[in-house]
A and B are shown apart, each in its own frame.
Chain A
Amino acid sequence: MTGMLDMDIIDISTLTHVVPPLATTLAALPALPIAGINWHSVLFLLFAGLACGFAIAVVAADNVVRMALYLVFSLGATAGLFFLAGAEFIGAMQLMIYVGGTLVLLVFGVMLTAQAPLVSIKPSSSDRTLTAVAGASLLSLLLTAAFSVDAWRGPGVGVVPAPSATPLGMALVGVRVDEPPAGTPVGGRVGYMLPFEIVSVHLLVVLVGAAYLARAKRRRTPRPIDALASAMPVETVATAAPVATMAPTGRSAGGAKSALVGGGR
């Protein structure tokens, strides 16, 4: 029960006395190349590939909804990486806040840009080339830095860490109950009560501030978006009935208007 991930090749010879015929037929199995696989590493490769692939897909995609979808997948895979690294609480937090928050982002993306011209704003190809070059050089810089420290390079010790949720909670209220990592100078460890309080107040301020910024203001002149909506011919809405054969542009425009009108509760 110590771990289904770091399973070793079971020494069959010690078990042959249990069920001899079965064991002898199965004795060849551990010799397969799959037997020595470290499942933790394989899952890491899976999640790492997903995270990196979808992160690049975010850059490559033009449609804002697709971008948000890829972002959510990338962040979800990152949460998986956190779980693999033994940071369960951070992983769950990532799933809840980040992925949930990005959900709201997605919805806002849909609401704001459901008009046909705004769904995909394409950057110019020279910009793309520049970004590719700059990104590649930045990546090589970061990778060089990552590989330049010997202590980071070796394989991990693979010790499954103790659950960190309770020590984390205690640290946030200012008490450290976790084992100090090897080599930490004694007396240098602090709790995080003050940062925790600051972050709480910060969140409250942000909540109020965001509500203030995004509030519906009363204005004398109509907003450009209202002018746009009222200028939209009625037929567009009428023809954009929810039938399967409508044109994509008609769908987008009609959908946008109805969503905005319906959204103005």
Chain B
Amino acid sequence: MMGLVLATASVASLAPCLATIPLFAVNPFTEPVGVVHYLIVGAVLFTAGIACMTLKRNALGILMGIELVLNGANINFVAFASPYLRAEGAPTLGLDGQVVALFVILLAAAEAAVALAITLNFYNNHATVDVDRADDLKG
């Protein structure tokens, strides 16, 4: 239910924004998609990740939010790197974008490992994964 609320709220706030933008200048069914379509997906994933990080009280949920954010960024890198999506005459990142995406994936794996270890320690010490209970240092 809250998901529905969230979705409608997003759509409602986006409506004026969408109206001013020539979103469907490209017919997505018959023409090749462009960079901007990938950017939209990246933006949605990024936003969902940020929302996840701020909303969740479960430490694992926050971790998942981070993964989503990194993925949103990765989609952008790959989109900018792709010669397929590039518009006529527009520049592209070439291979460099893919290399950066590769590094992001690797570092995200490393980050997940460390974050999981921290979560495990936190659970051992507090018998919970609720980050709101991690207030030992609060004065």
Contacts and interface: CB of A to CB of B under 8 A. Distances in A.
A261 interface: no
B114 A206 contact: yes
Interface residues of B, number: 100
Given A59-B6, A108-B60, A199-B106, A224 B126 contact: yes
Contacts of B48: 52, 55-56, 58-59, 135
Nearest to B123: A112
A137 B14 CA distance: 8
Interface of A: 6, 36-38, 40-42, 44-45, 48, 51-52, 55-61, 64, 67-68, 71, 74-75, 78, 81-82, 84-87, 89-90, 93-94, 97-98, 101-102, 104-105, 108-109, 112-113, 118, 121, 123, 125, 127-129, 131-140, 142-144, 146-147, 151-161, 164, 167-168, 171-172, 176, 178-184, 192, 195, 199, 202-203, 206-207, 209-211, 213-214, 223-225, 227-228
A75 B123 contact: no
B37 A135 contact: no
Contacts of B22: 147, 153
Contacts, number: 346
A89 B98 contact: yes
Contacts of A168: 95, 98-99, 102
A105 B65 CA distance: 12
Contact of B51 (A44, A75, A112, A134): A134
Nearest to B93: A181
Interface majority SS (helix, strand, loop, mixed), chain B: helix
B134 interface: no
Contacts of B71: 74-75, 78, 98
Given A67-B64, A225-B123, A199 B107 contact: yes
A98 B2 contact: no
In this complex, the member of A64, A81, A172, A225 whose beta carbon has the largest number of chain B beta carbons within 10 angstroms is A81
B5 to A, nearest CB: 6
Given A38-B29, A41-B33, A131-B51, A143 B84 contact: no
A36 B84 contact: no
Given A136-B9, A139-B43, A140-B13, A102 B2 contact: no
